């Protein structure tokens, strides 16, 4: 759900770009709910 919110805020419709942004955000925030290679 958070991922969708971030994607909406970013206004990105590209799953790849959203994923990359989410991965970076997760690393910055130290989130562990995203552990996909």
Rounded Cα distance between 28 and 13, Å, is 22
DSSP the chain: -HHHHHHHHHT---HHHHHHHHHHHHHHHT--S----
Measured between its terminal Cα atoms, the distance across the chain in Å is 19
Residue showing tokens 């562990």: 32
Rounded Cα distance between 28 and 16, Å, is 18
pLDDT in the model for residue 12? 55
pLDDT in the model for residue 13? 57
pLDDT in the model for residue 22? 74
Q: pLDDT band for position 30 (50/70/90)?
A: low
- Give residue-wise pLDDT tens across range 3-29: 767 666 665 555 666 677 777 777 766
């Amino acid at each position: 759900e958070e991922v969708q919110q971030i994607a909406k805020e970013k206004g990105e419709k590209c799953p790849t770009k959203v994923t990359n942004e989410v991965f970076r955000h997760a690393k910055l925030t130290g989130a562990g709910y995203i552990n996909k290679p």
